[in-house]
């Protein structure tokens, strides 16, 4: 049943915790975006420059890694994959509503996370349809 759990729920929940804690202080999208971009640490580069890594960058990186695993899970043809796709669709609807209606969710970081959830939904359904079609074609021969 763990396969049915959409992994992208993790960064969405982390962002929700961040945003809801900030909303208690009356924060708007600009202040939330600024706090996400504020450098947590810097990495010296070979060019002599310094790369500032913020909380939003780490959250997007985590989301990309989890999206990779979600795409691997979508190749499964188990029945529980349909439940995963459905839960991912519900997660995307929640992300879309939050992005459109709540001020502290109107950031590039949350937009990118929402687009990763959408890609997970689309990839899951497309891979499932293609796999089912190939199974159907193979059975027909």
Query: Kind and range of the H or E element at 40?
Result: strand 39-44
How much is the mean pLDDT over the chain?
A: 85
Structure confidence by residue, pLDDT tens digits, 42-52: 999 999 999 99
The 10s digit of each residue's pLDDT in 118-136 is 999 999 888 877 776 665 5
- C-alpha distances in angstroms, 1 versus 4, 56, 62, 117, 126? 5, 30, 22, 20, 22
Instruction: Categorise residue 119: left if φ over 0, alpha if ψ from -120 to 50, beta otherwise.
Output: alpha
With cut-offs at 50, 70 and 90, classify the pLDDT of residue 31.
Answer: confident
**For residue 42, what are its two tokens?**
């810097």
The domains of the chain are located at 2-140
């Amino acid at each position: 049943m763990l396969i049915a759990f959409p992994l992208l729920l993790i960064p969405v929940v982390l962002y929700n915790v961040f945003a809801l804690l900030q909303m208690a202080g009356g924060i708007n999208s600009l202040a939330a975006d600024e706090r996400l971009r504020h450098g947590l640490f810097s990495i010296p580069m070979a060019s002599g420059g310094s790369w500032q890594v913020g909380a939003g960058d780490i959250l997007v990186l985590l989301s990309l890694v989890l999206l990779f695993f979600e795409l691997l899970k979508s190749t499964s043809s188990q029945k529980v994959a349909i439940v995963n796709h459905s839960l991912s669709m519900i997660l995307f609807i929640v992300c879309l509503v939050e992005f459109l209606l709540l001020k502290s969710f109107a950031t590039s970081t949350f937009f990118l996370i929402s687009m990763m959830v959408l890609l997970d939904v689309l990839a899951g359904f497309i891979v499932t349809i293609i796999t089912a079609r190939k199974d159907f074609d193979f059975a027909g021969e």
